[in-house]
Structure 1
């Protein structure tokens, strides 16, 4: 997956963005798991 980023974007901002994407991915996976296996 390639993102087109402006040149001014700093490494810290990229890491924050990756952390947010990772968190969203975890939440989505948890939601899918719950929907597939209801408690």
Structure 2
């Protein structure tokens, strides 16, 4: 039971980290797009 709880904890933590990574990547992409548009204009 305790082992299962640990596994669930780590998997949920991993999912949260992945979500945060995706958000960071998308925001970085937006910044890059802004920079590209700015340099073109």
Category of TM-score, reference length = shorter chain = 0.7 to 0.9
> Segments of 4+ in structure 1 off by > 4 A?
none
2:25 aligns with one of 22, 26, 29: 22
* Bigger share in helix: 2
Which of 1 and 2 has greater Rg?
A: 2
Aligned residues: 31
Segments of structure 1 that go 5 or more residues without pairing to the other structure are 1-7
Instruction: Please give the TM-score of this superposition, normalised by the length of structure 1.
Output: 0.72
| TM-score between both structures, scaled by the size of structure 2 | 0.69
